[in-house]
Amino acid sequence: MDPSFISLRRAPSRSDTRSRGQRATAGLAALFVAGFAAGTLTVSLPAAEAEAAAPKPRAVIIVGPSASSTSEYLSEGELFADQAQAAGMDVTRMFHPRATWARVRPALQGANLVVYFGHGNGWPSPYAPFQESTKNGFGLNGYEGAPAGKHVYYGGNVIRDKIRLADDAVVILYRSCYTAGNGEPDAPVPSRSVAVERADNFAAAFLHRNVGAGVVMAFGPRQRVDLAAQLMRPGRSMDDIFRTRSAQPGYGSSGWIGTNDFYVDSRRTKGARQHLDPHPSAGYYRAISGDLDLTTDEWRGGYTAAAETASGTMLDIRSRDETPGRGQTVTFRVFSDVPLTAAPTLRIKQPGLVAYTVATTRFKPDRYRVTVTLKSGGDDGTLSLTAFGTPVGGKTQEVLRLLPLH
């Protein structure tokens, strides 16, 4: 059953707002009952218009010089690029021996997807001290035509200073040491704390508010998963994609393992979460960091465009689970397209119970969230979520989202 979406915006006159709201609510209520009985309902104010087609996501595939592994990485990079094109993305290839900073940097600006194959220089490592001029970034060609055995590192500081991705971009670090937790191929499996720190450090620059990535995925071996196709499927979270099993499960760490995975809060990036999926013996080859609830719709931009067009308001409520149950723990997120004076509040009304209000917490400049355990009492029916937010220099606005509750 599709969730219903209704938005109400306050106008300068309180009396005018109330009368229009009453008229709108009466009409919407009739539509809601009829539509809900039919099993599906999407309602918007009369001013709503059809959503314009979202542009193709833009993917940049980088293959840096990687000594004896270069030819293998070039083959895998070409495969990923082909899969991205087949999935409907606009693809730019930045491959050795022309993967120079002078070419990569402009290509990355505004990219929705970045996939990097190459050397990884992370921390903790044997190569002290910790710094991010060269660590936690890319290993690229020093000049066009450079040999595969030579590379130049451009670290986290350079990425934070020079790269501006599309909002909610996805970054995939592929076949690179330290990115998912393990060190170099012959090094022992690290402790859990060291693995977490490595993955956290490598993701931090890309997740920085100025750079704009929503999540960073890191994989050691090749994933026997068509990640590009997964990203283009509607209604999936990035954590769902991370938990996709291998199409050829005989290959270790080639897809979701799930025998000893764990979540932890990021220390480097406020509000970010990490999910590591270690192999029982091989160690830490799979990690994802950032906004794990980010959906493929949000990544493509279609969800945001639809919400803004339908609501005519600056606020938007999103739920990972759009058919929640009584007693279930659910994370709700509130998005705002303008700065607010404070984090918005969320009013929750379950059928048969008294409404209650919870505070949200900011985890990005325009994003807020709250995790709530819905009350186990009451009745099945419609869960009513109302977000209230006050823009800087403006009047309080509200948006209402209705979800089926079981």
- 122-181 pLDDT, tens digit per residue, is 999 999 999 999 999 999 999 999 999 999 999 999 999 999 999 999 999 999 999 999
Q: How far apart are CA 290 and CA 273, in angstroms?
A: 5
Confidence of residue 260 (pLDDT cuts 50, 70, 90): very high
385-396: burial string, b at 16+ Cβ within 10 Å, e else: bbbbbebeeeee
Note whether 173 and 313 are same-domain residues: no
261 lies in the same domain as 310: no
316, 261: one domain: no
Please compute the mean of the pLDDT values over residues 15-36 and round it to a whole number. 40
Q: How confident is the model at residue 4 (pLDDT cuts 50, 70, 90)?
A: very low
> Using CA atoms, how far apart are residues 71 and 81, in angstroms rounded to an integer?
15
Residues 84 and 48 in one domain: no
CA proximity to 3, closest of 322, 384, 325: 322
Range of the domain at 333: 4-52+301-405
Give the mean pLDDT of the chain: 85
> Which amino acid makes up residue 377?
G
**What confidence score (pLDDT) does residue 43 get?**
36
pLDDT at 11 over 50: no
Residues 358 and 314 in one domain: yes
Q: pLDDT tens digits for 56-81?
A: 999 999 999 999 999 999 999 999 99
pTM of the model: 0.74
What confidence category does residue 17 fall into, taking pLDDT thresholds of 50, 70 and 90?
Answer: very low
d(CA 247, CA 226): 9
Q: Which two tokens stand for residue 140?
A: 């690229």
Q: Could you tell me the CATH number of the domain that includes residue 342?
A: 2.60.40.1930
Q: How far is CA 347 from CA 32, 240, 329, 350, in A?
A: 20, 28, 16, 10
Q: Are 100 and 173 within one domain?
A: yes
Highest mean pLDDT among 112-116, 331-335, 383-387, 391-395: 112-116
pLDDT (0 to 100) of residue 54: 62
